[in-house]
Amino acid sequence: MSRDEENLPREPFNQDELLEVWSAFVSRIEAEGKMNLASILSIDTPTLKGTTIHLTFPNATNKVEVERQSFDLLQYLRKHLKNYDIALGYRS
């Protein structure tokens, strides 16, 4: 871990805070016209275990779509939840 990474915030957050920020992200991408991604992210409620956000998808196509967009999603979540240890875990 670099010195810059060590200085990034790692504030604790809970499931309710995650869902609030998640909903805001979905609203933002809907406003940008990314309806497909917004729909996929609304299929299931993300669950929090430690700093890993677990997502479940009904099929591999949805999983691949989210994986392609995961950089923007992670940046948003990390910034707004003030925790740069956040990771995504996928299940289908």
User: In the predicted model, what is the mean pLDDT of residues 26-51?
Assistant: 97
SS3 label, residue 14: coil
pLDDT tens figures, 54-81: 999 999 999 999 999 999 999 999 999 9
CA distance 68 to 83: 21
Residue 83 pLDDT > 70: yes
pTM: 0.91
Residue 1 pLDDT > 60: no
**Tokens, residue 74:** 């992670």
CA distance 4 to 32: 31
pLDDT at 3: 58
Q: Angle of helix 15-31 relative to helix 70-81, nearest 10 degrees?
A: 130
Domains of the chain: 13-91 (3.30.300.180)
